[in-house]
Structure 1
């Protein structure tokens, strides 16, 4: 009876999915990029790319030790002029590159060629405002520097104007803003200055600037190949409290990680954007960075790698860097694929807290997730008994689709912007975005750093007796790894335009790109490129914990919501600082209930901290820290639950739980659950033979001798011994 009901349920699901796809196809209009017909972006030929003379900074040692070259562009960029297109030291320009000046409300970019390279540029029919005749192409997306004006109304609404607002509106406005927009390194930049009155010139002499500067960073997951959309109003709204106090705010689309995670490019561009501001208004008293997620890690890396851009950092919801997060994030789909399609005990994994034993991150029963309906459909397709998921996890809620978007060169959700011919020529991946730093393999694919060779998923749970030895063996026998990049194929997706995340995935959890086991042979594991990992270290893409800035690491507690911005990332940054510079006294961690926003307090604290540094320039950042600026956790009313140097003690530093750690429970990730360090920066672990691991007591009181032959088959090269550091890290670091 029960099975009959389940069959009917699955049939109903299939019918609903088919009907949904049909409705989607019939009633969803084509993408605006199809309608606008500006998506065709012919790629540069190899010879043209090689002809470029852009300089790439030397990173034969860590780039924090490499002096930056003297600026070659004559700043400031004047209104009506175009800023520098080539980077100063971040290497060759990436092509294809999609212009987004129209998306930003800034008009079409400048024509720079008649060869068909880039987006087509049209003139406008007289008096009609319609795009008409093709006049050329733009491959570098430049616009002339221009001015805008904005006001904050009494209602709190922000309005942006192309020209000076009406006098009646100015008289009732609470605050005025003078805005400059242009392109630097092909990305859009933005300068926002609070003013008392508008001036006619580029430099507004009627400003109300307090001589302090905010550099706004933003997050998101990106794989390059586009200029990015500039959101003027949104930027003002985000920093309205600081603008009211007189701070100026600057930013660039290169400093939003939705557009690139190349931190050398982000640094090069940020330095020039700040130079444009300084050349107009003079040196600020200080520059403080702020931004969340990818915008937080950018501050850690730019602060570590260079000087002259930031004087302090307020990373929000941060990670230490992007590349470390790929280690466990790319494990997620491997594990989902195992639970859904390979495990002989699917009912065990339907109790979702059991998944936390392997994934480390939070998982809950009784919740649903966006891909829940797809799982039974995909199970039917592979001949497996269908089961509707009975829960949700951070691994799904936070990281679903990352393997497809970031790792798979055959997919690329950005390719809707480009012509079919270009789509076929490009590897659409995070690794390709970094190819100038990471290099290529013998097949021409970008080197990648991800590896799970020797990783024993669920090892900590096995040692604690939370999963059986047989279950541990089966998991590691079948979990497999990602196929080589050259062998990966696009997902089978129905209901979406090319390049879009469609509504019906027929290869859920990217099962078509994961290695498979047989009864006699375990699924193959993968090893990353040592060359790529070493280049990532030297080029400053990995946070090694050496940073002499005041840092207030701020986040809301979101782990109950299965949000990807988990607290363990702050502890990873702290552990790396402890290892890299012997202390983390210049980093404080603030965590708040989601109903309290502590950012205003953080700005005030940073201001006091930097005041002490100006008074005592011979002392380091941590020596100048006021005694009351310390680790803290806040309740929903903004009251301190606890504060002090020990409030975040816990598993990450092998100490008894501190007061804040008790209040806000921290989860881990799959690599920590496999025995790894909370620092989370082991790209290539030290491998030891399984027999040696058994003799050394790696499995605690669990007798793994009966499983020796199977373990040796799964791990022919050995298992990870995390007592040793990352084997891919250059010794001189």
Structure 2
């Protein structure tokens, strides 16, 4: 990983050429194209650290974002290496902006450069002192705050939802609004939040007092900023005391502790819209009656607790997969949100991701692909990535269709064996495969799931009773990711991320003796695939080669990037037996763990807590981990640093019967998912004070250390009591890494069937698979050794996949 993430240019002569690959411009209006002797070096993504300076040398570096990813016309710029007596001048496209700069702690000179034009801007610094006169220049690429920056051209159409969210009409075609500020207070009577009509007036008598991390007792009053960033509705909430500071004093984030709690959104949708945003997404206190597939787990993450301690809590509708299930757009949005915070609120000490399901996907995606955006991740109900999860959706859809139409007697037990499940999660009440079909198979259907896109503008297939509209908007997951997947040149439709060529469904069940040779042959003979419109057909599916290659390059299958460089505390409640949410199989965190083992030789950077746990339980441990994390000098091993900093409390655990953390449900006792928990009021004592007759010796929580093998096995309580099932593709031979989206094929080998098939039946297997069967002992057909870090497909113009670098400009020789 060290070699991957710290790779430098082959020679200085290539540096500007490499910069050109990221969209850099060698000439800017108002200044010449010469670099003035400037040298470019790469900065560390996590720390912005650079190689040691030469004597008398200084450097110029962007601090709020990469120089190729600047947005909204401003960037925080730093000058390093200045002596105490040095004087400096900074220009923006030739205009003097030195007045914005001042020396910060540690001697670094910092300033917010504003007034950047769209596109390339030349920033230059001239330093004079005992070392002589030195100069450095850096080109930054400024993009609109609406994006795109690295995700490629915007999806069209895109329906604005600002009025639906009570934010008024949009002010432009990118669904922007004028930034709004409101203040809310938390009430002691119900723990809910109410808006303050006049934030500078005395607060209501029922306002809760909260204690920040540094021990200050302050009114629980929150300032909320609502704006639009990357076309998404952005909400940022932080403690404020407007009554105390008065209306004349400008807002300063004086009660902010430098920590950001990023609430990602759940589910998976196809975009074409801005999405809905409730203020409670950053306040907490979501109503129990409003729980849906898009906010099933968010009540468990402890939002109000983090606010009360001084964290900045943020959400953006374009980092909610339920609105737009696109990993590059999610990552881009998180990058822009952090840039905005750094420039408008101050330096970020830690940014910690939270929430589960689709939100877990986004956290793992960020850790793998954009190291340094998140300091730590706390996913719940994990999935690794969209592509490999889509394999299960398609496999379950095909298998359920096959069982329903087969002439053979497929008992519940036999179906469970082929699906990779056991009898508990294979019965009709808890059937995981049926849940996948019900929840997400429609993402393959171009006629469903387009939300507010008018019916007359949507795609209608040839068999649609209202007549075809083959040029309409297609509402599929591949269309949501068309910049990544590309288009079929014949149809113009987005390439599908699906492939089951060579997959021997039920192979493991055959070898175990659970299904017969006849059943094994029949399912593979008749399983078929889905056509481009999501309809079952006899032919199996084969993925586009270029699409598969790009998917691995840009980290669409995680594990080949910087995943091990970010601490992850994975909260894994056992949801296999709960019909409403049992698509969150217990195997999913172990898929990520197996990829860590395969790619980095370790699993320590992921702490895995199984049982009944919430992020409110885990946050103090993640905070402890990050406080102990000492990032290495430039070129050092970040994975080793994460491992060395890991506290004992972050080790694998098994938790049952927890009271959990503070909840965000006013007056509620029962949580979703069947977990009975009680709210802990900030101004009241522990549980035995609330219920005096409660026997405090009764254990409310069983919390045991436990080590989990990469396949989910082990000898502890959770390993034995909470069985980890498999996926249909794993039964077919896929390794636990579950990361082969398009397999290499090999000839059928009779030895693979351990005598379960006769010679004639082996011949039939060869007839079913004329091109061969999957060789899961080999990497995927288009696999890459390392995926790109900060992968980019360009902004308004689609480009070939490339990495964005964090360039710093070094001064040349003194004049």
TM-score (normalised: structure 2): 0.66
1:310 to 361, 374, 380: 374
For 1:73-88, list aligned pairs within 5 A. 73-75=72-74, 84-88=145-149
For 1:30-69, list aligned pairs within 5 A. 69=68
* In structure 2, C-alpha distance between the alignment counterparts of 1:329 and 1:704, rounded to whole Å: 32
For 1:331-730, list aligned pairs within 5 A. 331-341=395-405, 343-346=406-409, 348-349=410-411, 352-362=412-422, 364=424, 391-404=429-442, 406-409=443-446, 411-421=447-457, 423=459, 424=469, 425-442=472-489, 443-483=491-531, 485=532, 488=533, 513-515=535-537, 523-545=538-560, 546-547=562-563, 548-562=565-579, 563-593=582-612, 597-614=613-630, 620-637=641-658, 639-640=701-702, 642-644=704-706, 647-649=707-709, 652=711, 657-690=715-748, 693-694=749-750, 697-730=751-784
Asked if the contact 1:327–1:450 (Cα under 8 Å) also holds between the matched residues in 2, the reply is yes
Instruction: State the partner residue of 2:278.
Output: 231
Instruction: State the partner residue of 1:36.
Output: none
Question: How many positions carry a matched residue from both structures?
Answer: 573
* In structure 1, C-alpha distance between the alignment counterparts of 2:741 and 2:425, rounded to whole Å: 32
* In structure 2, C-alpha distance between the alignment counterparts of 1:524 and 1:329, rounded to whole Å: 18
Instruction: State the partner residue of 1:25.
Output: none
SS in structure 2 of the partner of residue 354 of structure 1: helix
Asked if the contact 1:222–1:260 (Cα under 8 Å) also holds between the matched residues in 2, the reply is yes
Q: Deviations over 1:675-714 (max 9, x none)?
A: 1111111111121112xx21xx211241342212321221
Q: CA, structure 1 residues 245+399, in 2 after alignment: closer, same or farther (shift >3 Å)?
A: farther
CA drift of 1:235 comes to: 3.0
Q: CA, structure 1 residues 157+417, in 2 after alignment: closer, same or farther (shift >3 Å)?
A: farther
Asked if the contact 2:382–2:588 (Cα under 8 Å) also holds between the matched residues in 1, the reply is yes
CA drift of 1:362 comes to: 4.9
CA drift of 1:585 comes to: 1.2
SS in structure 2 of the partner of residue 577 of structure 1: helix
* In structure 2, C-alpha distance between the alignment counterparts of 1:553 and 1:632, rounded to whole Å: 10
Instruction: State the partner residue of 1:35.
Output: none
Asked if the contact 1:217–1:289 (Cα under 8 Å) also holds between the matched residues in 2, the reply is yes
TM-score (normalised: structure 1): 0.73
2:327 to 251, 263, 266: 263
Per chain length, whose mean CA-contact separation is higher, i.e. which structure has more relative contact order (CA < 8 Å, sep 6+)? 2
CA drift of 1:621 comes to: 0.7
Say yes or no: does 1:99 pair with 2:168: no
* In structure 2, C-alpha distance between the alignment counterparts of 1:366 and 1:353, rounded to whole Å: 7
* In structure 2, C-alpha distance between the alignment counterparts of 1:201 and 1:87, rounded to whole Å: 37
Instruction: State the partner residue of 2:266.
Output: 219
Q: Deviations over 1:300-351 (max 9, x none)?
A: 111111134211111111111111101111111211111112x1124x33xx
Q: Deviations over 1:37-88 (max 9, x none)?
A: xxxxxxxxxxxxxxxxxx9968xxxx9999761414234999xxx9722322
Asked if the contact 1:311–1:550 (Cα under 8 Å) also holds between the matched residues in 2, the reply is yes
Instruction: State the partner residue of 1:187.
Output: 232
Asked if the contact 1:632–1:640 (Cα under 8 Å) also holds between the matched residues in 2, the reply is no
Q: Deviations over 1:549-574 (max 9, x none)?
A: 11100121111224111121100001
Gaps of 5+ in 2: 1-19, 24-43, 47-64, 76-111, 115-142, 209-219, 285-298, 460-468, 659-699, 788-815
CA drift of 1:472 comes to: 0.8
Q: CA, structure 1 residues 727+615, in 2 after alignment: closer, same or farther (shift >3 Å)?
A: closer
Task: Supply the RMSD in Å over aligned alpha carbons.
Answer: 2.9
SS in structure 1 of the partner of residue 529 of structure 2: coil
CA drift of 1:656 comes to: 5.4
Worse overlay, 191-200 or 242-251: 191-200
Deviating beyond 6 angstroms after TM superposition, the runs of 4 or more aligned structure 1 residues are 55-58, 63-68, 615-618
Asked if the contact 1:98–1:225 (Cα under 8 Å) also holds between the matched residues in 2, the reply is yes
Gaps of 5+ in 1: 1-54, 113-138, 369-390, 489-509, 516-522
Asked if the contact 2:223–2:237 (Cα under 8 Å) also holds between the matched residues in 1, the reply is yes
CA drift of 1:417 comes to: 3.0
Asked if the contact 2:158–2:273 (Cα under 8 Å) also holds between the matched residues in 1, the reply is yes
Say yes or no: does 1:204 pair with 2:251: yes
Q: CA, structure 1 residues 620+245, in 2 after alignment: closer, same or farther (shift >3 Å)?
A: same
Q: Deviations over 1:496-555 (max 9, x none)?
A: xxxxxxxxxxxxxx7xx111xxxxxxx321111121111111122221253201110012
Q: Which has the higher helix share?
A: 1
* In structure 2, C-alpha distance between the alignment counterparts of 1:230 and 1:321, rounded to whole Å: 24
2:183 to 146, 149, 162: 149
Q: CA, structure 1 residues 365+152, in 2 after alignment: closer, same or farther (shift >3 Å)?
A: closer
Q: CA, structure 1 residues 362+248, in 2 after alignment: closer, same or farther (shift >3 Å)?
A: farther
Q: CA, structure 1 residues 203+334, in 2 after alignment: closer, same or farther (shift >3 Å)?
A: farther
